[in-house]
Amino acid sequence: MKPAQRRTLFSLYFAYFTDYFSWGVAIAYLSIYIGTGFSPFQSLHWPPQIALAIAVACFPIGEVIGSPIFGDLSDSIGRRKILLGGHFGSILSFILCAFALWSGHFWTFLVGQFLVGFFSGKQAMAQAAIAEIDARTKSRKLAFLSVLGGIAWITGPYIGSLLLEKPFLETGGFIWPSLLGSTVFGLSLLCTYFFFEDNYQPDKLIFSTSQFFKRIAKAFYPAFQRRLFTLFLFNLLGWYLVIVSISYYFIQKFNLSDAQVGLFDNYLALCFTLGGIIGTVWVLHRFRARKILFWLQTTGAFAILALYGSSTFAEFWIYLAVPAITEALIYPAYQTIISEQSSDRNQGKVFGLIHAINGLCQLISWWILEALTPEFVVVAIVFSALLFLISGAFIPLSSRKSSVGYNPMAKVTAFQSTVPKRIPQKHI
């Protein structure tokens, strides 16, 4: 890999890490901002639980809307411009959240949350640009994103918790996590400006609503035809159900304290990071992504069911690690397959759709959890295992369908049709 490509890849990795880190620093503490007696907001306009649910939903809603738009724009006007503009938007969004926390304006905070989610859609463009650098190592580079995401989930909330203690609370209240998120985005903006070299040649299309949806549908169709997007959605929804419900399940089954639950959450992120490392250095280097999906999802499903049936902490530690490690491999495997089945001119759109599905699954999982009473939280755990099984079971059928109609002589015929007729075929 050339030095310029290494610098570009570093800036893209740092941009991806920044999004997850800033989310962990600031947005992970919404329950403290809203649902406690220390809330800085003068009026929530709704009961605390409803206000918290609305604030939580703002981020994934913004992500669902912003990801396809940024992905399409990056295909149309280039990766660099969109990444720089997205960073600038993220900086302003976090500053707006800090101002809302300082002034106590809840509506302003909701707008800031939505914009933070909207501008996180630039991750789709960053992933598309990463996939375009040396396509032979695409799956391993995407697996490394799981490593960065896991590290960000551990460090972000930890540093955010430090900023919610003295002396920070005495000099500005809850504004510091958002200001730190804005500062980190500023560093990523500088890194992108000086290091990112965009070799992608954009289509330079004029943006219009009708053409936007047509381009998105065209990029979406190949993966949808093979059911991959549907299976991907099932798997992601199952994973996010595990994430949002596991803390409640721990408290319900073992009467754990918040500190102990936080330890389990960090352990989950650590296992996810380990899975990303395994995928980067071995699994996705040695095996094709499609071949391992069925076994990974099946293994994760049975581990989740075993988690439901476990009765000791030792069993919990073991069974909790399995779905985290497998999901760190499943996510980049799906991205690799969907990317390879799409045109090189549609990579931004494809990763935009992937990112939109990610936000959609976050939103749906929170809605499901909010609809369940505490004694039925275990239902979410079982349902997530079933979604893993369903997604894995249809992978072989999806592979079979993609091979239907395949003509082994098609490439030969296509090649021969490009040969000048003045050259006899027997000399080729």
Total number of domains constituting the chain:
1
Instruction: Please give the residue range of the domain that contains residue 72.
Output: 3-401
Task: Say if CB 207 and CB 137 are below 8 A apart.
Answer: no
> Is position 428 within any domain?
no
Higher pLDDT, residue 235 or 250 = 235
Look up the pTM and report it.
0.84
Residue 135 DSSP class? G
> Is position 383 within any domain?
yes
pLDDT (mean) for 21-39: 83
> Is position 407 within any domain?
no
> Is position 146 within any domain?
yes
> Is position 347 within any domain?
yes
**Residue 363 above 60 pLDDT?**
yes
**Residue 119 above 90 pLDDT?**
yes
Q: What is the pLDDT of residue 327?
A: 94
Q: What is the pLDDT of residue 411?
A: 36
pLDDT digits (tens, 9 = 90+) for 399-418: 554 443 333 333 333 333 33
> Is position 271 within any domain?
yes
Q: What is the pLDDT of residue 214?
A: 76
Q: Which of 9-23, 29-43, 193-207 has the highest mean pLDDT?
A: 9-23
pLDDT digits (tens, 9 = 90+) for 301-344: 999 988 877 777 778 888 889 999 999 999 999 998 888 888 88
* Secondary structure of residue 428 in the 3-state scheme: coil
> Is position 280 within any domain?
yes
CATH code of 334's domain: 1.20.1250.20
User: What are the residue ranges of helices labelled H in 43-105?
Assistant: 48-77, 79-103
**Residue 50 above 70 pLDDT?**
yes
Cα atoms in the 13 Å half-sphere on the side-chain side of 71:
32
Q: What is the dihedral of CA 211, 214, 219, 223, to 10 degrees?
A: 160
Distances in Å between the Cα of 327 and the Cα atoms of 226, 239, 281 are 21, 7, 16
> Is position 413 within any domain?
no
* Secondary structure of residue 421 in the 3-state scheme: coil
Task: Look over the chain and give the mean of its residue pLDDT values, rounded to a whole number.
Answer: 83
- Cβ neighbour number for residue 318 with a 10 Å cutoff: 14
- Cβ neighbour number for residue 309 with a 10 Å cutoff: 8
